[in-house]
Amino acid sequence: MAGPSPTGGFERIDDHQRRLGVRPAGGEWLLDVLGQSGLRGRGGAWFPTARKWSAVAEHSDGHAVVVVNGSEGEPLSAKDRVLLTLRPHLVLDGAVLAAETLRADDIVIYLSRAATTTERTVQQALKERARAGLPEPAIRIEKCAHRYIAGESSAVINRVSGGLAKPRFTLGRSAEKGVNDQPTLVQNAETIAHVALIARYGTEWYRRLGTESCPGTGLMTLRGNVKRPGVYEVDLGATVGGVLAATGGTVTPPAGALLGGYFGSWFAPHSLRDLPLDADRLRKEHKASFGCGILAVLPEGGCAIVESTRILTYLAAETAGQCGPCVNGLAALSETMERIAASQPETGDYERVLRWMDMVKGRGACHHPDGAVGQLASALTVFKEHLNTHLSGVRCRGTQVQGFPRPPSPGDGWK
């Protein structure tokens, strides 16, 4: 995915085509190639891309919809915006390949309203493609409110269908009935960019890096207590320790790290060195996920209980307000955890937190409550010993430590 750093903005269509060659036409062959490549979705779920595509292809009668999800509501992530502002044509190539393969006649680039530079770049890139007379269907941009869950796939479908960017409850599948009831592919922008490369260079090339179950490279956003924060393309066969070493290491000795973003998991400092990025190993060995490729490192003296509570409070405010267990449960958890984080717990607070974490799981229309609670649960488990100081009322100096990114203010509106 990497290449020369384009000076003065994004990689122009001429440079893009000179560097990578003209893209092949999409078609059924690409389903097989994607299957062999082992490419998995980079929005956070790491679902096999070929399986997702096949389900849409099965239901498509020529009016399917391809939505490239670049909304990136995760505050710790910057990879999709960076990708789209540096190499928009790679993503757009992938979108057209998807449309050709899935017989889609509507291609949508889904962006957050807050990402104005990204939108401008994509618009310019689309103009370039039109001027170059590339044989491809029209591609349109659809914008959503900058909210944490506006990029959840059912929220994307609601928004692109003309509604609010809120998740919806459905027993069906979007591959069959998505945008305006048409078969729909909602795919993260980075995943789509990988497709554009795999279609050109093939499976063997793609599998040169990564692992058997998670081949290739991935975009990773490094944040917090690291010498050189930013977006990197990393070998998925790497470890967290390896990535940190290759990028200049941490500023102060780490006190822990959050892997995968606000729906991710916390890790103790000693476990970081050998921690894999491979989705299957993370799930099996750590019940964790690389999510959308985030590593946020906690600085020396920082407190995961405090940071985890800040994230929980942000996520509680980011509820779409549709489901009782999410609205009530996250608010109650946040209020209680704020007391614990401040080392001023009331009797029974910790037991209530445990009870509510279990109570809200799996009971929303989307996974917002599950993700929020998973993040909190991992902090409480991994930093159990330190949690006890909070519960016994000993003041924690971690509340004053800077260097771990604070959550932003909650978003506004849902359009």
CB distance 159 to 110 below 8 Å: yes
Q: How far is the CB of 84 from other proteins (least distance, A)?
A: 31
Q: How far is the CB of 220 from other proteins (least distance, A)?
A: 30
Residue 168 or residue 207: which is nearer to other proteins going by CB?
Answer: 168
Q: How far is the CB of 51 from other proteins (least distance, A)?
A: 12
Annotate each residue in 115-154 with x if it binds other proteins (CB under 8 A) or - if it does not, as one string: ----------------------------------------
Q: How far is the CB of 46 from other proteins (least distance, A)?
A: 17
Angle, helices 28-37/49-59, rounded to nearest 10 degrees? 160
How many CB atoms lie under 10 A from the CB of residue 270?
9
Q: How far is the CB of 377 from other proteins (least distance, A)?
A: 18
Q: How far is the CB of 145 from other proteins (least distance, A)?
A: 18
Q: Specify the stretch interacting with other proteins by CB under 8 A; choose among 22-30, 187-195, 321-329, 398-406.
A: 321-329
> Which of helix, strand or coil describes residue 152?
coil
Measured CA distances, 262 to 61, 148, 316 (Å): 38, 9, 12
Strand partners, 2: none
Residues 6+ apart with CB under 8 A from 111: 70, 71, 84, 118, 119, 122, 141, 142, 143, 144
Measured CA distances, 272 to 134, 232, 279 (Å): 46, 18, 15
Task: Identify residues 359-388 at the interface with other proteins (CB under 8 A).
Answer: 359-360, 363-365
Can you tell me which of 34, 84, 288, 326 binds other proteins, judged by CB under 8 A? Answer: 326
Annotate each residue in 168-187 with x if it binds other proteins (CB under 8 A) or - if it does not, as one string: xx-x----------------
**Helix %, strand %, coil % of the chain (to 5):** 45, 15, 40
Specify the residue for token string 């078969």. 183
**Residue spans of beta strands (DSSP E) within 207-345:** 217-224, 230-235, 256-259, 265-267, 294-298
Distance CA 177, CA 349 (A): 44
Residue 117 or residue 170: which is nearer to other proteins going by CB?
Answer: 170
Strand partners, 258: 266, 296
Q: Is 356 in the site for other proteins (CB under 8 A)?
A: yes
Specify the residue for token string 């609010």. 164
Q: How far is the CB of 322 from other proteins (least distance, A)?
A: 4
Torsion of CA 121, 89, 112, 288, to 10 degrees: -140
Q: Is 209 in the site for other proteins (CB under 8 A)?
A: no
Q: Is 332 in the site for other proteins (CB under 8 A)?
A: yes
Can you tell me which of 149, 323, 330, 377 binds other proteins, judged by CB under 8 A? Answer: 323
Q: How far is the CB of 305 from other proteins (least distance, A)?
A: 23
Q: Specify the stretch interacting with other proteins by CB under 8 A; choose among 12-20, 219-227, 282-290, 353-361.
A: 353-361
> Which of helix, strand or coil describes residue 12?
coil
Q: Specify the stretch interacting with other proteins by CB under 8 A; choose among 41-49, 102-110, 163-171, 292-300.
A: 163-171
Q: How far is the CB of 74 from other proteins (least distance, A)?
A: 23
Residue 173 or residue 287: which is nearer to other proteins going by CB?
Answer: 173
Distance CA 177, CA 312 (A): 33
Residue 356 or residue 404: which is nearer to other proteins going by CB?
Answer: 356
Q: Which two tokens stand for residue 374?
A: 């998973």
Q: Specify the stretch interacting with other proteins by CB under 8 A; choose among 118-126, 248-256, 292-300, 351-359.
A: 351-359
Can you tell me which of 21, 324, 348, 393 binds other proteins, judged by CB under 8 A? Answer: 324
Q: How far is the CB of 161 from other proteins (least distance, A)?
A: 16
User: First CA to last CA across the chain, in angstroms?
Assistant: 32
How many angstroms from the chain centroid is the CA of residue 396?
A: 31
How many CB atoms lie under 10 A from the CB of residue 18?
11
Binding site for other proteins (CB under 8 A): 167-169, 171, 322-326, 328-329, 332, 355-356, 359-360, 363-365
